[in-house]
Amino acid sequence: MHPSVSASPSAETASRRQVVVITGASSGIGRAAALRFAQDGADLVLAARGTEALAYVAAECERQGARAIAVPTDVTDAQAQRRLAERAIERFGGIDVWINNVGVGAVGAFDQTPVEAHRRVIETNLIGHINGAHAVVPHFRARGRGTLINMASVGGWVPAPYAAAYIASKFGVRGFSESLRAELSALPGVHVCEVYPTFVDTPGAQHGANYTGHRLRPAPPLLDTRRVADALVALARRPRPTVSIGSVAWPGRLAHAVAPNLVGRVTRWAADRAFSHADGAPVTDGNLFAPSQGHAVTGGYRAQQAPVTVPLAAAVLGAAGLACWWAWRGLARR
């Protein structure tokens, strides 16, 4: 069945629970979301590149009482995403929620990071979201309802040094989502949502590409993956355009809106200071070109965060305060 074909009434009646497709479901936020939706009684279609890890998560969801299927998928392959949509419709009769959750990163100085790595980050984080939307939107149009959730990041609003392609992909996801939402605004039952978390305690720092020569640790304060999963379930129940999660999200957006160059300098200082205290680590392509190993929900950093690491909250909140003072000073001089 092509994803643009609406499910039959009998199929709709047979599957009364929400049908949720989650990409990047084998670990981190994706696995946490799969388990949370399973507890909520959803039917699940789980996608990721790693076959073994994905099967593990699907079985875990079934033990929670959910119906779940694992569909190994590379989101950079548009045809694979169309097949993913078709499998979901064939198995459960339709799709209610599609979550574009896959995300990879490459950390390193821009010109010391291979251009192939930059390209892969964009292909995965941005083109992968576009491929997923392109696979499911015809189905949503035909049914007149459906919710597309694009996982973005506070990096879609606030730039970060040493992660140029990642930030470019998240800025792109924001622009893509806003444009698609406007295009579909004549369909009141079809929703396009974005989620903007701050740093999350996922295995991403262990799985990602690292060209810095230093061991990577995400900066605090770190969100629990289960908090992000709760936000996804809430969006599926009651869609709204955007959700920001984390204490640094809004101060970071405010600071960048008022004084973007100042924010850039502060975050560069914080990153350099963190690298200066970090242990050495080998250069690696991580999971850019091969599936991640393992299926952990968290990275374990919330309990292990080194006290010498400069908290991101302090850096961003300080930049926000300076930015507001700078703006006030400029207005006072007029």
Domain assignment of residue 4, yes or no: no
Please say whether the beta carbons of 128 and 24 come within 8 A.
Answer: no
Domain assignment of residue 125, yes or no: yes
Domain assignment of residue 145, yes or no: yes
**Residue 216 pLDDT:** 85
**Residue 89 pLDDT:** 98
**Residue 152 pLDDT:** 96
**Residue 305 pLDDT:** 55
Walk along the chain (334 residues) in steps of 10 and give the mean pLDDT of each run.
42 64 96 97 97 95 96 98 98 98 96 98 98 98 98 92 97 98 98 95 85 87 93 97 91 86 88 88 93 80 54 48 47 48
Domain assignment of residue 42, yes or no: yes
* From 166, 196, 211, 301, the catalytic residue: 166
Domain assignment of residue 305, yes or no: yes
The residue segments making up the domain with residue 257 are 9-332
**Residue 201 pLDDT:** 87
56 among known catalytic residues: no
Whether the full predicted model's pTM is greater than 0.95, yes or no, is no
- As for how many domains the chain has, the answer is 1
Domain assignment of residue 3, yes or no: no
**Residue 24 pLDDT:** 96
**Residue 295 pLDDT:** 75
| Domain CATH for 59 | 3.40.50.720
Domain assignment of residue 1, yes or no: no
**Residue 147 pLDDT:** 98
**Residue 15 pLDDT:** 42
Domain assignment of residue 266, yes or no: yes
Please say whether the beta carbons of 113 and 211 come within 8 A.
Answer: yes
